[in-house]
Amino acid sequence: MTTDTDKEAFVARFAAAWAARDPEQFIALWHPEGELHYPFADRVIRGAEIGKLNELQNAQAPKLTWKLLGWTARGDVVVIEWESSNTYGDTVVTWRGVDKMTLKDGRIMEEIVYADTAPLQAMRQGRPFEPLMKVPE
């Protein structure tokens, strides 16, 4: 079982990898046979592919930012809340999400990323993002 100190160290390494956007730091977080369920990709990404995914992401979104907002853990599961932004032309788009990670020996065996992709999809399609519900004042 992962100790509280191990979990805290893992979260620090995860945040540092995002700050550096360095493929090697991301690779070090993963078991090669791990699985990433990522709503921005067209399939499940294997742990052995994390470096390539990071390189692709750096090339396609060089102005992407990521910020740790908070985290919690229970057993071998760590949940991280984050905020990202990216610049598209003159527009900065910000969104939030949560990653649920199951650790084994301090490395990720499974990560499920929960994020609302609708605003980014709307922008990609050249239309404004309209909420599903308008709440009266």
Domains of the chain, each with CATH number or no CATH: 4-124 (3.10.450.50)
Q: Taking the model in full, what pTM does it have?
A: 0.89
Q: What is the pLDDT of residue 127?
A: 83
- Contact 107/30 with Cβ under 8 angstroms? yes
Question: Which residues, given as ranges, of the chain have pLDDT below 70?
Answer: 1
Contact 49, 68 (CB under 8 A): no
The per-residue pLDDT for 1 is 64
pLDDT number for residue 105: 92
Quick one: which of 129, 45, 44, 41 has its CA closest to 88?
A: 129
